[in-house]
Amino acid sequence: EDQVTQSPEALRLQEGESSSLNCSYTVSGLRGLFWYRQDPGKGPEFLFTLYSAGEEKEKERLKATLTKKESFLHITAPKPEDSATYLCAVQATGNTGKLIFGQGTTLQVKP
């Protein structure tokens, strides 16, 4: 069964304190792995797509990496505005339109 597990469930950081969020997945065939950010009362906002092991994507203070079993979202020198829930999702080969989501990591960055 295709599955996504994210850890930790919650993370509290001081402003400027770098850290990483983990996304472990099992899927029959990976079509793509997606990272989203969700703020309270809003829909998920797309951040990155990764397609194959070894791939990396970067945007401002965020960097996403992918191996055959997991993905990491590295947050460098976070700011309070980075506080949000970060969601990881996978799409399996042949499973059109369907994303399987992890439970998310809720990040709080204190000034």
Chain residues binding other proteins by CB under 8 A are 31-32, 34, 36, 41-46, 49, 51, 87, 89, 91, 95-104
Q: Give the tokens for residue 29.
A: 């065939």
- Between 51 and 110, name the residue whose CB sits nearer to other proteins: 51
Q: Measuring CA to CA, which residue among 108, 82, 109, 102 is closest to residue 35?
A: 102
- Between 3 and 18, name the residue whose CB sits nearer to other proteins: 3
Smallest separation, CB 32 to other proteins (Å): 5
Task: Give the count of beta carbons closer than 10 Å to the beta carbon of residue 10.
Answer: 10
- Between 46 and 80, name the residue whose CB sits nearer to other proteins: 46
Phi, psi of 45 (to 5 degrees): -110, 125
* Contact status, residue 44 vs residue 51, Cβ threshold 8 Å: no
- Between 15 and 47, name the residue whose CB sits nearer to other proteins: 47
Smallest separation, CB 97 to other proteins (Å): 3
In the chain the first and final C-alpha atoms are separated, in Å, by: 41
Smallest separation, CB 29 to other proteins (Å): 11
